[in-house]
Chain A
Amino acid sequence: MSAAAEDVVTEAPAVEAVPKRAMTLGLGTSLVVLAALVLAPLFVKNFIIFQMTMLLIYGLAVLALNILTGGSGQFSLGQSAFYAVGAYTSAILMEHFGMNYALTLPIAGIICFGFGFVFGQPALRLSGVYLALATFALAVAMPQLLKLNFFEHWTGGVQGLVVTKPDAPFGLSMSQDMWLYYFTLVIAIGIYIASVNLLKSRSGRAFMAIRDNEIAASAMGVDVALYKTLAFGVSAGITGVAGGLGAIAVQFVAPDSYTITLAISLFLGMVVGGVGWLPGSIVGSAFIIFVPNMAEHISKGLSGAVFGVLLFLVIFLVPHGARQVAIVAQQMLGKLTKR
């Protein structure tokens, strides 16, 4: 075990290359999904609308992770920390400063962007499992930081903060839930389109070059350090906005809401949705919201085990997540139309 003996590894990248074009949905499909998202709330109970709001919020958080991992090839188990910072930023601004909820979101996003950008600096030197551990550490540390006596005046300490839910503006006769849903939907669509465009842009190509081969990318003149930290920042910023929306929808923030379990859920959402396939984020989000409910319905005592088994089933059948389903569906559709 002398230091001179160095392992030389031709390591396959952790995340496979996904061509840019395959990262989005076709125009037709997009419109169908959009129509479903816009019209569905008109026909369901408030409770379902609330669930759909959470679906969009977690979808955004999964999307953010997807940009980081699927886009730039960096792995993170610490997204819950950024989500928490966003949620607390919104909650504190609303409750302590009486700020309008809509205004708190960009602030949450900016603060998280900065936070992610700074965290991206040490993360630059780490990759693979080491980066996983570093981000994992961040997720583990966050609830403890939120509980600190030092911040208690602002964060409410272990008791958390109760947030007031906004009413629909302009005298719209719409339930709070429905208003919040459409509000979230507009933001989610905005961020989705921006993300798609980001990945198509010069920066997006730089992200993917780094993902596919860091050394080759730097040889081609990509500023690896800048783009890697930038990816962290963007991902954290979007997660922060999702966190802020989550705080408003749930009307409560507490350290117990943002534990490592949340980070792991978001990670699972990304895998199930398909790493690097942005539309899959919403599928992944549906998985992490509804599958635990299904598991619980099947067996209370063994809900964890049932969840595990369902997860295994999904990854056995479609190891590449929902993206794989989409590709297969597209091919079949293609065959049909050719005939």
Chain B
Amino acid sequence: MELFTNQVLAGIATGAIYACMALAVVMIFQAIDHLNFAQGEMAMFSTFISWQLMQWGIPYWWAFLITLIISFAGGILIERLLFKPLAKAPILTNVAGFIALFAIVNSVAGLIWDFTIKQYPTPFGSSPFLGSQLISTHQAGMIGVTVLLLIALYLFFQFTRIGLAMRAAASLPESARLVGINTSWMIALGWGMASAIGAIAGILIAPVVFLEPNMMGGVLIYGFAAAVLGGLSSPLGAVVGGFLVGVFENLAGTYIPGVGNELKLPIALALIITVLVVKPAGLLGRPIVKRV
């Protein structure tokens, strides 16, 4: 029983990583109706920027703030420069663009900061949380920030004009244009916000997995899985999905005899696919009805 509790707690701690990333995935999906494969690399790059700022002696919170601004602007810039020209191209061409962006960002980060792992500070400290030996204060802090971020996103999308405009632009671009929404800039704004959320995710994840150019590779797979499981249209779903994936993966690895440990990722993915077959829009996503 103790092992069970421990694994669930460890799963929640790891799940927080996935949940963070999944939020960024949902954000970009809301804006462009697609998954951005370079999202993890962009987050990694932002994290490196904040690390570099701290190396130059800028205090943590200032570095954090500056990184958010740079990431936001960078996200918009990438959209304007690279993806706006592709707006009329087929969606698969856009996906190829994401892959190209992935390759560029990863390679440039490797050249600037090389591939050895770097220690990344945490504002929460890494002592055991509330005497528990399983979750550190950093991980507890991470769960806290994820929840705050979730609430902020929810409020943004539900109660601000711009959030509403963004949702409209993503789901019905033509009608949105007719009511006077500048859909092109809504997309750019979505890129900027996704990039900033990715930066927060990267900064929270880095103290746990260590900072290096390939740090987000695995995280992004789980982030996608979590977002898809929870429903790509629902920030709450993404967070719930993140925790579920984290916990389920640990339990599969611990309790499925024989292959459980070696195949915990495939098993987790198989479960997600099963869920999708039953509920194609994810656990908390809204079903989409197509008009013929």
Contact = CB atoms under 8 A, between A and B. Distances in A.
Contact, chains A and B (beta carbon distance below 8 A): yes
B288 A7 contact: yes
B91 interface: yes
Interface string A307-322: 1110110011001110
Contacts of A306: 107
A140 interface: yes
Interface string A124-165: 011001101110110011001101111000000000000000
B35 interface: yes
Contacts of A319: 86, 88-90, 93
Interface stretch (A21-29, A190-198, A297-305): A297-305
B228 A213 contact: no
A14 B221 contact: no
Contact of A213 (B108, B289, B292): B292
A11 B290 contact: yes
B262 A149 contact: yes
B288 A307 contact: no
Given A149-B262, A301-B111, A267 B277 contact: no
A36 interface: no
Nearest to B278: A125
Contacts of A129: 29, 34-35, 228, 232
Contact of A304 (B106, B270, B287): B106
Contacts of B96: 267-268, 271-272, 311, 315
A15 B276 contact: no
A308 B232 contact: no
A6 B285 CA distance: 10
B148 to A, nearest CB: 19
Given A8-B291, A302-B107, A308-B103, A134 B92 contact: no
Name the residue among A16, A130, A132, A306 with the largest chain B CB count within 10 angstroms. A130
A3 interface: yes
Contacts of B221: 136, 140
Given A129-B228, A216-B292, A140 B266 contact: yes
Interface residues of A, number: 58
Interface in A271-311: 271-272, 275, 301-309, 311
Nearest to A300: B111
B109 to A, nearest CB: 10
A7 B285 CA distance: 10
Nearest to B263: A144
Interface in A1-40: 1, 3, 5-11, 14-16
A9 B233 CA distance: 14
B116 to A, nearest CB: 15
Interface range for B:
35 or more
Interface string B64-108: 000000000000000000100110111111011101111110111
B171 interface: yes
Interface in B94-133: 95-97, 99-104, 106-108, 110-111
A150 B228 CA distance: 31
Contacts of A16: 90
B90 A302 contact: no
Contacts of B110: 301, 304
A111 B94 CA distance: 33
A264 interface: yes
A303 B107 CA distance: 7
B177 interface: no
A1 B234 contact: yes
Contact of B287 (A6, A126, A130, A144): A6
Nearest to A134: B273
A319 B34 CA distance: 18
B20 interface: no
A99 interface: no
A141 B234 CA distance: 27
23 contacts: A1-B284, A3-B286, A6-B286, A6-B288, A6-B289, A7-B286, A125-B277, A133-B224, A133-B225, A133-B272, A137-B266, A144-B263, A215-B292, A271-B93, A301-B110, A302-B108, A304-B103, A304-B107, A309-B100, A311-B99, A316-B86, A320-B89, A320-B93
Given A6-B289, A133-B273, 16 more contacts: A9-B171, A125-B277, A132-B35, A136-B224, A137-B225, A137-B272, A148-B259, A264-B99, A267-B92, A301-B107, A301-B111, A304-B107, A315-B100, A316-B85, A316-B86, A319-B93
Interface of A: 1, 3, 5-11, 14-16, 69, 75, 122, 125-126, 129-130, 132-134, 136-137, 140-141, 144-145, 147-150, 213, 215-216, 264, 267-268, 270-272, 275, 301-309, 311-312, 315-316, 319-321
6 tightest Cβ-Cβ pairs between the two chains A and B: A304-B107, A319-B89, A308-B104, A141-B266, A137-B269, A308-B103
Interface of B: 29, 34-35, 82, 85-86, 88-93, 95-97, 99-104, 106-108, 110-111, 171-172, 221, 224-225, 228, 232-234, 236, 258-259, 262-263, 265-266, 269-270, 272-274, 276-277, 280, 284, 286-292
